C-alpha cells in the first residue's frame, strides 16, 4: 500500500466521509415538507428524460419553485423528478416550466421494504411531482447531449425492429442503460441467478469497447495520444448517452486513468484507479456510500484486483478454467455481505453460471453494437448481424430457468447486521495478508476461514418470540417467529397498496431470513387479507426438491372450516393443492402445540354457514409461556358474541384490534374479558372507511389499553421471553417495556 500513495490518499478521504457522517446528511430544507400534496410550479433545465409508451419522467436541475406567489430556490446540484402523462420528447437542457402536485417521499414502513426516499436522495432528487403539466418550453438546449439522446432513441427503435420485443429490451438495458422496457420476468430471472450485473453498463462494456477502439486506431498507425484521446472522448460520450450510472462513471474514470498511464509512460495500477474513481464519485455525492450499485461495483473490481491473485497463488492455479472459477469466487466473496444486506439471499450457483455468461458477453456486446449500427442503415443487415445475440440470450434464459429447478438455487439468509459485515471483511483482509504461499496449511486456513465467514453472516436462530405486525396499509399481515425456528404468517393483503405481496410481505420475510413458512393462516377471504398471499401463491414455482423456486416456501395453509366455500376460498384452496402445500382446516377447539408455544382456534365453531365473511373470521389465541396474544381477524357481530361466551377466551397481553378499528368492533364487554395491555391497529392512511373510528379509540382508552397503529409507527415488532415484552416501531422508533 505504501507504493500506492494515491490509493492511500483516496482511502483517507473515504474514511473521513465515513467518520464525518457526510454520507448520511439530509439536506432537504424544512420548507419542502410544507409543500406536500400542494400544487406548485417548477422552472428548471431538463437533464434527463425517461419515456415509456404511456408516461414520461422528467428530471430538472437549477430549479426554482413558485407556490402561493412565494419563490423558493433549490440547490444547483439537486434535481426535481416529474411524472407526467405527456409523452413529448423535450430537448436536452431546455428550460421547462411545469405545474404538478408535490409528492411526499415516504420512508419504508417494513424491514426489507425498498427505501424509495433513500433511493431518491442518493440520486440527488430533492422533490417529486405527480400529474406534471409542461406549461412552457425554452428555445435553447444542449446540442451535443441532444444529439446523443437522439442516437439512443434511434438505437432503441432499431433494436426493436431487428431483435424482437423481449431481446430488444435486454439489449437496450445492456447497451443503452435503459431498463424501463425490460421484461419483469427476464429481469427477475437474471437477479435470481446472480447475473443481473450484465444488465448494467460497467467495466465489461467500457473496457471492451474502449480498448478495442484504442487498439484499432493504433493498428491504423495513429499515435498513442490521438488514439487514446479519441477512445477517451468516445467512452465519455457513450457514458453521457447512457445516463452515466454509477458503475458506468466508475468504469469511464478507470479507463481514462488507463489511457493517461499509457500517455505518461507509467504502469496502470487498477487499485489506485479504483480508489480515485471512488473518491471522485463520493466528493460529488457522499450518499453513494450507502448505495447498493456503488458498493457492489467497487467491491467486485476489488475482488478481481486484490482477492483473485491471492487465491490463485494459494491454490497454485495453472488451469484456465480453475482460474476463471477463482476470479468468479473472489467476486462472490467480496460482494456477498452487501448482496445480503440489500437483497437478503444469494444465488448458490451464480459463480458457476457466470463462467458461461461472462465470456459470451463479449459476443453479445460485439454483435449487439454491430447489429444496431447496421440496422440504422439496413434492417435485413441488422437482423443478420444481431442474430447471434438472439441465441446467446436464449441460452441465458434457458440456463436461468434450469438452474432455478435445482435444490438450494436461492438461499435466503436475511439481512446481516453491521457488526457481522465489518467482522466478515476483517477476516477476509486477514486471509489476504497470509504471506506463506503454496503451502497445504495455508489452503486449509483459507477453507476454514471462508467457511467461518459464511457462518458469520448466516441467519442465527432467534431466542424467545418475535411477532411483527406489518405495515400493509388498509389490510392485515402478521408474522410470528417462534422458538425452534417455527415461522408463521397470519393473513397478507391490502386494499390500498399495490403488489403488497411482492413489494412488502415477501421482502420482509426474506430480510428476516425466512426461507420457509411452517404455517400460513388465512382468517377470512376479504381482499385486504388475502390478495398479497394470492400474489405469492400465483408466483409459486416448484423446483426438483419440492420447494418454491421463486421465493419463500409454504408447508401448511390453514383455513377456517366453513360449510359454504365461496369463490375466493376455493381459488386459494386449489392454488395451495396445485403447489403441493398441505391444507388444514381450523375450527373452535383445534390447536397447534410446539413445546411451550401454541396456537388455539376460538372461532368459527363447527361448520360455520354464515354468508358474512367477517362473522366467519378465524380467531386465534397465541400463547408462549405466560405471554399471550389475541388475533381477532375481522370478527364482529355474532362472531364476537360467540367469542364472549367462550370459556377458552382468556386475558391477553396484546390484542390485535378487529376489523382495522371499525366503529362496532371490540365492544366494552369484550375488552373487559380480554383486558389487554397493548392494542395493535392496522389500517391505511386517510382510508375511505374512516378507520379507526373515534368511538373504538375511546373504548380502548377507557379500558386502559395503550394502542399503536402501523400507519403511525410502520411495522410494529413485539419481542417476548414469555414473561416480559417489548414493542417498537419501524418509523419513529419508540420502545415500551411492559
In a domain, 22, yes or no: no
Can you tell me the distance from the alpha carbon of 352 to that of 403, in angstroms, rounded to the nearest whole number?
A: 10
Domain count, the chain: 3
What is the structure's pLDDT at 440? Answer: 47
Asked if the structure places residue 330 within a domain, the reply is yes
Clarify whether residues 654 and 693 are in a common domain.
yes
Per-residue confidence (pLDDT) for residue 288, from 0 to 100:
92
Helix, strand, or coil (residue 66): strand
Q: What is the mean pLDDT of each run of 10 residues along the chain (738 residues)?
A: 67 70 55 84 92 83 86 85 90 93 90 94 91 85 92 93 91 90 89 91 85 90 89 94 92 94 88 91 89 93 90 77 86 92 93 92 93 93 94 95 92 89 84 59 62 65 90 96 93 95 96 95 95 94 87 95 89 95 94 90 78 85 95 85 81 94 89 94 91 94 95 95 93 54
Note the pLDDT of residue 475. Answer: 95
Q: What pLDDT does 152 receive?
A: 92
φ, ψ for residue 314 (rounded to 5)?
Answer: -65, -40
Q: Is residue 713 in a domain?
A: yes
| 521 and 542 part of one domain | yes
**Is 485 a domain residue?**
yes
One domain for residues 430 and 554: no
**In a shared domain, residues 676 and 611:** yes
Residue 658 falls in which region: left (phi positive, over 0), alpha (psi -120 to 50) or beta: beta
Q: Is residue 555 part of a domain?
A: yes
Phi first, then psi: what are they for 688, rounded to 5°?
-75, -5
* CATH code, domain with 100: 2.40.50.140
Question: How high is the pLDDT of residue 735?
Answer: 46
| Assigned domain for 117 exists | yes
The answer to whether residues 546 and 672 belong to one domain is: yes
Q: What is the pLDDT of residue 267?
A: 87
Instruction: Name the residue among 685, 623, 677, 643 with its Cα closest to residue 660.
Output: 685
8 inside domain:
no
User: Are residues 523 and 436 part of one domain?
Assistant: no
Do 691 and 563 have their domain in common? yes
Q: Are residues 571 and 437 in the same domain?
A: no
Domain limit, last residue, from 124, 141, 158? 141
Are residue 571 and residue 655 in the same domain, yes or no? Answer: yes
> At which residue does the C-alpha cell 489511457 appear?
259
Alpha carbons 540 and 532: distance in angstroms, whole number:
13
Distance CA 476, CA 684 (A): 10
Among 85, 114, 141, give the residue marking a domain's end.
141
Whether residues 421 and 536 share a domain: the answer is no
Domain of 117? Answer: 31-141
Say yes or no: 441 and 557 in one domain. no
Residue 460 is predicted with a pLDDT of 67
Specify whether 423 is located in the same domain as 540: no
Give, as one character, the DSSP assignment of residue 543: -
**Selection from 466, 467, 476 nearest residue 682 by Cα:** 476
CATH of the domain at 477: 3.60.15.10
CB 653 within 8 A of CB 628: yes
> Could you tell me if residue 376 is inside a domain?
no
Strand partners, 370: none
Q: Which of 95, 114, 141 is the last residue of a domain?
A: 141
- State the burial class of residue 249 (Cβ atoms within 10 Å of its Cβ: 0-12, 13-18, 19+): buried
State pTM to two decimals.
Answer: 0.91
Q: How far, rounded to the nearest angstrom, does the alpha carbon of residue 58 sit from its chain's CA centroid? A: 23
Amino acid at each position: 500500500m505504501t507504493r500506492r500513495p494515491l490509493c492511500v490518499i483516496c482511502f483517507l478521504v473515504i474514511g473521513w466521509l465515513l467518520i464525518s457522517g457526510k454520507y448520511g446528511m439530509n439536506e432537504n430544507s424544512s420548507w419542502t415538507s410544507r409543500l406536500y400534496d400542494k400544487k406548485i410550479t417548477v422552472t428548471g433545465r431538463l437533464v434527463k428524460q425517461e419515456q415509456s409508451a404511456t408516461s414520461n419522467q422528467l428530471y430538472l436541475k437549477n430549479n426554482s419553485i413558485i407556490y402561493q406567489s412565494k419563490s423558493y430556490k433549490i440547490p444547483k446540484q439537486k434535481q426535481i423528478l416529474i411524472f407526467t402523462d405527456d409523452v413529448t420528447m423535450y430537448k436536452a437542457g431546455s428550460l421547462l416550466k411545469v405545474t404538478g402536485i408535490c409528492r411526499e417521499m415516504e420512508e419504508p414502513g417494513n424491514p426489507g421494504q425498498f427505501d424509495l426516499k433513500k433511493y431518491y436522495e442518493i440520486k440527488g432528487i430533492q422533490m417529486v411531482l405527480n400529474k406534471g403539466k409542461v406549461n412552457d418550453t425554452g428555445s435553447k438546449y444542449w446540442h451535443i447531449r441532444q444529439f446523443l439522446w437522439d442516437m439512443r432513441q434511434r438505437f432503441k427503435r432499431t433494436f426493436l425492429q431487428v431483435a424482437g420485443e423481449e431481446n430488444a429490451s435486454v439489449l437496450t438495458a445492456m447497451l443503452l442503460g435503459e431498463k424501463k422496457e425490460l421484461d419483469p420476468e427476464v429481469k427477475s430471472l437474471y437477479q435470481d441467478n446472480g447475473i443481473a450485473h450484465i444488465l448494467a453498463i460497467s467495466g465489461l462494456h467500457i473496457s471492451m469497447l474502449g480498448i478495442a477502439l484504442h487498439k484499432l486506431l493504433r493498428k491504423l498507425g495513429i499515435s498513442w495520444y490521438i488514439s487514446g484521446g479519441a477512445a477517451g472522448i468516445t467512452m465519455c460520450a457513450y457514458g453521457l448517452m447512457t445516463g452515466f450510472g454509477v458503475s458506468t462513471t466508475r468504469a469511464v474514470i478507470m479507463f481514462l486513468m488507463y489511457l493517461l498511464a499509457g500517455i505518461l509512460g507509467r504502469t496502470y495500477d487498477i487499485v489506485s484507479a479504483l480508489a480515485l474513481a471512488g473518491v471522485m464519485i463520493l466528493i460529488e455525492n457522499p450518499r453513494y456510500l450507502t448505495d447498493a450499485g456503488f458498493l457492489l461495483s467497487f467491491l467486485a473490481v476489488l475482488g478481481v484486483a486484490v482477492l483473485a491473485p491471492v487465491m490463485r497463488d494459494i491454490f497454485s492455479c495453472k488451469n484456465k478454467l480453475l482460474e476463471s472459477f477463482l476470479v468468479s469466487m473472489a467476486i462472490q466473496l467480496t460482494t456477498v455481505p452487501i448482496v445480503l444486506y440489500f437483497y437478503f439471499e444469494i444465488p448458490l450457483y451464480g459463480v458457476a453460471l457466470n463462467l458461461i455468461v461472462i465470456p459470451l458477453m463479449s459476443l453479445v456486446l460485439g454483435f449487439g453494437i454491430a447489429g444496431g449500427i447496421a440496422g440504422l442503415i439496413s434492417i435485413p443487415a441488422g437482423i443478420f448481424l444481431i442474430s447471434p445475440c438472439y441465441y446467446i440470450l436464449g441460452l441465458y434464459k434457458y440456463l436461468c430457468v434450469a438452474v432455478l429447478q435445482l435444490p438450494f438455487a436461492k438461499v435466503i439468509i436475511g439481512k446481516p447486521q453491521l457488526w457481522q459485515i465489518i467482522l466478515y471483511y476483517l477476516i477476509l483482509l486477514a486471509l489476504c495478508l497470509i504471506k506463506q504461499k503454496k503451502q497445504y496449511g495455508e489452503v486449509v486456513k483459507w477453507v476454514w476461514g471462508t467457511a467461518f465467514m459464511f457462518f458469520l453472516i448466516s441467519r442465527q436462530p432467534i431466542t424467545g418470540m418475535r411477532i411483527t405486525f406489518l405495515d400493509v396499509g388498509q389490510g392485515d399481515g402478521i408474522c410470528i417467529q417462534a422458538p425452534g425456528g417455527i415461522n408463521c404468517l397470519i393473513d397478507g393483503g391490502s386494499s390500498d397498496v399495490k403488489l403488497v405481496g411482492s413489494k412488502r410481505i415477501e421482502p420482509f420475510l426474506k430480510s428476516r431470513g425466512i426461507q420457509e413458512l411452517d404455517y400460513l393462516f388465512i382468517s377470512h377471504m376479504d381482499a385486504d387479507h388475502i390478495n398479497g398471499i394470492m400474489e405469492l401463491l400465483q408466483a409459486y414455482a416448484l423446483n426438483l426438491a419440492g420447494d418454491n423456486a421463486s421465493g419463500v416456501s409454504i408447508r401448511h395453509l390453514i383455513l377456517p372450516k366453513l360449510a359454504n366455500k365461496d369463490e375466493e376460498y376455493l381459488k386459494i384452496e386449489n392454488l395451495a393443492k396445485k403447489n403441493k402445500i398441505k391444507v388444514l382446516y381450523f375450527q373452535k377447539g383445534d390447536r397447534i402445540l410446539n413445546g411451550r408455544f401454541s396456537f388455539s382456534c376460538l372461532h368459527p365453531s363447527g361448520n360455520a354457514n354464515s354468508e358474512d365473511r367477517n362473522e366467519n373470521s378465524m380467531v386465534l389465541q397465541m400463547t408462549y409461556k405466560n405471554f399471550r396474544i389475541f388475533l381477532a381477524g375481522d370478527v364482529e357481530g355474532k362472531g364476537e358474541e360467540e367469542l364472549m361466551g367462550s370459556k377458552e377466551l382468556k386475558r391477553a397481553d396484546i390484542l390485535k384490534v378487529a376489523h382495522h378499528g371499525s366503529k362496532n368492533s371490540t365492544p366494552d364487554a369484550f375488552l373487559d374479558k380480554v383486558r389487554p395491555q397493548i392494542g395493535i391497529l392496522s389500517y391505511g392512511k386517510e382510508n375511505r372507511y374512516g378507520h379507526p373510528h373515534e368511538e373504538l379509540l375511546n373504548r380502548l382508552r377507557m379500558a386502559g389499553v395503550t394502542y399503536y397503529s402501523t400507519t403511525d409507527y410502520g411495522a410494529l415488532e413485539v419481542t417476548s421471553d414469555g414473561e416480559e415484552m417489548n414493542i417498537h416501531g419501524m418509523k419513529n422508533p419508540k420502545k415500551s417495556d411492559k
